[in-house]
Structure formats: structure tokens, C-alpha cells
Amino acid sequence: MRADVIDLRDFYASPLGELARRQISRHVRALWPNVRGERILGLGFAGPYLDVFAEEAERTLAVMPPSQGIMRWPAQGTNRAVLADETELPFPDCSIDRILLVHGLEGLEQTTAAFRELWRVLTDAGRLLIVVPNRRGLWSRLERSPFACGRPYSSGQLEAVLRANLFAPEARGATLLTPPFQSAMVQSLAPVIERIGSRWCPGVAGVLVTEAGKQIHALPLSRELRPARSRESVVALPGLRPGAVAAQRRTEPPPMAQPPRPVR
């Protein structure tokens, strides 16, 4: 089960949601300090975390799955939100530099197929940044938080999923140590709690934040894991062109038939 787009919108409009957005955005920005000239795709409900990159990146896009629902993003200006299934992204091969997955992994029903699409659309040097609820944190246990929807992960489980789908985990971290309480006093103490908690008890943080790189030649792709072919059309995204991988595909000739053996 994943959170509904209306519930996510209302959460981020609340003081508790603003607290979560501020803390997670600070961590995401620290991992991606420079995205100038790059194409960034937000998958799931990543709009609140894409705003910081809007003026710097060449292009920022938000893809929201049908099971969650879609809303306009950004609130002002040209809409850059697209409704698409995670297993059928409407982008060519090697066309995205960075993917930010928020409120996404914990609600996936076809994890392998979704990661195959992420692998396909990322450039060879592309980066994948995942924000996922921490199994040991309070935010995955209280229903007032959208991080309680779906399946939370431990750091070991998250790394295992990435490695199994041709991604190499690199930067690992955790944030959102402030308890998900509505108390104004607790929220005002958030900077102190985050600073102390990150030093003494990072294992109980609300979310895990892991950056991974695309593995190109770690092992041969099986038929099940082989990236899908390029999409022939791009939904509302003019200018994206397939990368070199798609351009260099060749069709191998069929094997020659063997003559029948004589009967003795």
C-alpha cells in the first residue's frame, strides 16, 4: 500500500510535513551539491524535494504513479509532472542524469521491473538517490506519517535490493531523528535533536538516504534483467534523445539451420 497524493499534499502542507521536508532536503542537497546542466527526475512524490534544484538543473521532472495519483508540479509556472507507471517510464535510454526516488520504493509491487526501468533511463554515469522509511525508526510506525505506508527497509535490505538490480550503493546516510509529534516544542528543538541524534543514535532515524551508481559491466545481464527497449515517444518532454546504448543496438542474424543427418 502506498500513500494517496492528497494525503501526501496535506502532510507537506502541515508543520510536521514542513519539518520532514526541511531535514530531508538538507541531506539530499548535501549529497548533490552541484547539479548544474543536468536532468533530474523525481519519482514517487518528490516534488517537495525537487524545488531546490529547479533553477540550477537543465530540467527537473516529476513522475507520479497511477496507484498514488498525480497533482500539478510546480504550483506556479509550466507543469512538469507526468503520470506514468514505474515499470513503463516514457523516456529514452540514457536520457536522465539523476533520479530522486521518494515515497516510491516502499510502495512498489514490481521492484525488479521498476529498477530495470531506472537502470535503462539513467546515463552511464547517472546517480540514483533513494529516500525510504527506516524499519527501526518512529516515522515508519505512526500512521500520521506517510512514511508509515508501505514496506520500510533496513540499511542492509536496501543495499541488497540495489545490488540485486545492478546498482552499486555508495553514499549512505540517515536523517529525520526528530520524533513525529505535533508538539510545537518538539518541532522547535528539531535542529538540536537532529544534531545530537545523528551522532549518538543514527540507527533510529526516520528515513534512510542512499545514493547508488549504475553498474555497467559487473555481471552479464540475464534475459529477465536486460533493460527494456527505448520508448518511441516521450510524454511532454521534447528534446530528450536516446543515448549511445540505444543507437548502437544491432540485430544478430539467426543461426544457420543444420542439414539433416543421413539415415543408415
What's the rounded Cα separation, in Å, for the pair 105 and 231?
Answer: 23
Cβ-based neighbours of 87, under 8 Å, separated by 6 or more: 110, 113, 114, 116, 117
Q: What's the start-to-end Cα distance of the chain, in Å?
A: 66
Q: Reduced to 3 states, what is the DSSP secondary structure of residue 115?
A: helix
If you search the block for the grid coordinates 539530499, which residue do you land on?
Answer: 28
All 3 cell numbers of residue 177? 531523528
**Cα–Cα distance for residue pair 6/72, rounded to 1 Å:** 12
The 3-state DSSP class for residue 180 equals coil
What three-state secondary structure class fits 111? helix
Report how far residue 29's alpha carbon sits from residue 25's, in angstroms, rounded to the nearest whole number. 6
CA 217 from centre of chain: 22
Angle at 21 between CA 19 and CA 25, to 5 degrees: 125
- Each residue's pLDDT, cut to its tens digit, for the chain (264 residues) gives 788 999 999 999 999 999 999 999 999 999 999 999 999 999 999 999 999 998 899 999 999 999 999 999 998 889 999 999 999 999 999 999 999 999 999 999 899 999 999 999 999 999 999 999 999 999 998 877 899 999 999 999 999 999 999 999 999 999 999 988 888 888 888 888 888 888 888 889 999 999 999 988 644 444 444 444 444 444 445 455 444 333 333 344 444 444 445 544
Task: Supply the pLDDT for residue 186.
Answer: 84
Angle between helices 111-121 and 155-164 (to 10 degrees): 60
Locus of grid cell 494525503: 7
Q: 123 has which bridge partners?
A: none
Q: Which domains, from first to last, does the chain contain?
A: 5-247 (3.40.50.150)
Total residue length of the chain? 264
Cα–Cα distance, 252 to 264 (Å, whole number): 36
User: d(Cα 9, Cα 1) in Å, to the nearest integer?
Assistant: 17
